[in-house]
Structure 1
């Protein structure tokens, strides 16, 4: 299995960057089958370094600009768009200057995330590392004081003294190094975000996959309400494009048998086929039995909730490559879903 960090994979990425980076910066055109996006997605790479000059973190940032406002989105949203074969140059009224400014703020916020975690780790090092070394140095001081007294009385303890003094010196050096390291690790700086490229996203002209936000909101309310009745604590993450809409946690921790559900919510005004995006499908395959599909039928007048566990294993779908969607027929989700 080849993944990030594997020499072959990293070499491939480097080769692609070297040969196609300029083309990447020229941009591309995509279509959004859901009809939600109509604007430009800017991609930047943000980097944070610590006081040692080491990279504390890197983050790929996607910034959506609809010409009126800018919002950070999950870069994985690219999976949900359809590339368009267009060689015609496209003139944009949107420039990247505002996106560049937004990216700086985003990297600054990322730096604060890293700082918070580094500070927590530093407190642990101070609590256990520094205090332990200070205790050991104190113990050696007591031992040395006793040895110096014995030496003054004429006893031959010079070897023991040298050993203790050497050990104390080593501990003191380690203490200084650790103190300096802790300070360096929380001394963070950001560099100017690197512009990687941009894509123009156009809404689809087909109505087949267009989503209705009002209907979807009804579905979210019903799904969240159901989770609460089951004693779980649902969190709405639908705006983060994680491949699921709700992260729902049980009262107990995982090691004690508690459950975390990753829930994708689909709502219909009446009844009909539903579609999963590529990102949702990938997450369903990854989380398996922790992934749930909640379908709310007749959402406006008489909502009925159907729940399906592990949809990639339990549902037969039709893959529609042209709209990067996995379509679940009405009979499939209705017959295999549990009505609650």
Structure 2
């Protein structure tokens, strides 16, 4: 639609005025000078674990999960080896061979072996980690594989019952291993881990409930 000259002039004047105001705003922004910041408040973030340690409290999960120690692992291995011998088998430690289990236990007179993966966990832990290699080994040897979960009590011979201290470099743990609870779980896994998975965390209580108490 056509507009008359008066309206056209008014429209042009309005646009010119808007342009002028915008140019003045931009010029004003160029003349702004920064002022020192004014602090309104602050916050100090302190990790909960640090506060617990400063208060002398023992950390629960995930600290128990993260700190599998030599003391717990070696007591667990000794306990399982003792169980195997008491059952008439001949165990051999192969934990350094990375073959998907920790102990080969020979069955006398048969030439057969029991393949045992040992998981030592401090009493009170909530999870246990199983590697993909261990799961695949269990699935490949379903009738011969045993998952041995060992619940190790805190030490009562160190200050504050410190469970992290290795008490004897010679691995002589006295009767500590006799206080352990050893569970055998047969066919503990039902499927392979997904592609790209390197390990799986299992609920320790549920895993133990599926097993058989053989010592403790």
Give how far 1:323 is off: 6.8
1:223 aligns with 2:80: yes
Give how far 1:322 is off: 8.1
Give how far 1:331 is off: 2.5
User: Which ranges of structure 2 fall in alignment gaps of 5 or more residues?
Assistant: 1-61, 156-178
Q: 2:201 aligns with which of 316, 323, 327?
A: 327
Aligned 8 A contact 2:148 2:182 in 1: yes
Q: 2:152 aligns with which of 298, 309, 318?
A: 298
In proportion to residue count, which structure has more helix? 1
Q: 2: distance between equivalents of 1:222 and 1:298?
A: 10
Give how far 1:298 is off: 2.8
What SS does structure 2 have at the residue aligned with 1:327? strand
Residue by residue over 1:38-81, the C-alpha shift from the partner in whole angstroms, topping out at 9 and shown as x without a partner, is xxxxxxxxxxxxxxxxxxxxxxxxxxxxxxxxxxxxxxxxxxxx
Over 3 Å counting, the alpha-carbon distance change for 1:228 and 1:308 in structure 2 is same
What SS does structure 2 have at the residue aligned with 1:312? coil
Residue by residue over 1:200-230, the C-alpha shift from the partner in whole angstroms, topping out at 9 and shown as x without a partner, is xxxxxx9654532221000000000000000
Residue by residue over 1:91-147, the C-alpha shift from the partner in whole angstroms, topping out at 9 and shown as x without a partner, is xxxxxxxxxxxxxxxxxxxxxxxxxxxxxxxxxxxxxxxxxxxxxxxxxxxxxxxxx
What SS does structure 2 have at the residue aligned with 1:296? strand
Q: 2: distance between equivalents of 1:303 and 1:253?
A: 30
User: Which ranges of structure 1 fall in alignment gaps of 5 or more residues?
Assistant: 1-205
> Could you tell me which residue of structure 1 aligns to residue 31 of structure 2?
none
Q: 2: distance between equivalents of 1:280 and 1:273?
A: 16
Residue by residue over 1:248-280, the C-alpha shift from the partner in whole angstroms, topping out at 9 and shown as x without a partner, is 0111124xxxx4210000011114211111111
Q: 2: distance between equivalents of 1:312 and 1:289?
A: 12
Q: 1: distance between equivalents of 2:121 and 2:195?
A: 23
Q: 2: distance between equivalents of 1:226 and 1:218?
A: 12
> Could you tell me which residue of structure 1 aligns to residue 137 of structure 2?
283
**Over the residues paired in the alignment, what is the CA RMSD in angstroms?**
2.6
Q: 1:265 aligns with which of 118, 121, 137?
A: 118
Question: TM-score by structure 2 length?
Answer: 0.53
Aligned 8 A contact 1:267 1:299 in 2: no
Q: 2:185 aligns with which of 291, 308, 315?
A: 308
1:214 aligns with 2:92: no
Question: TM-score by structure 1 length?
Answer: 0.35
1:238 aligns with 2:95: yes
Give how far 1:246 is off: 0.0
Q: 1: distance between equivalents of 2:188 and 2:141?
A: 10
Q: 2: distance between equivalents of 1:325 and 1:210?
A: 16
Over 3 Å counting, the alpha-carbon distance change for 1:273 and 1:226 in structure 2 is same
What SS does structure 1 have at the residue aligned with 2:137? helix
218-227 or 262-271, which deviates more: 262-271
Aligned 8 A contact 1:219 1:299 in 2: no
Q: 2: distance between equivalents of 1:295 and 1:248?
A: 16
Q: 2: distance between equivalents of 1:320 and 1:213?
A: 30
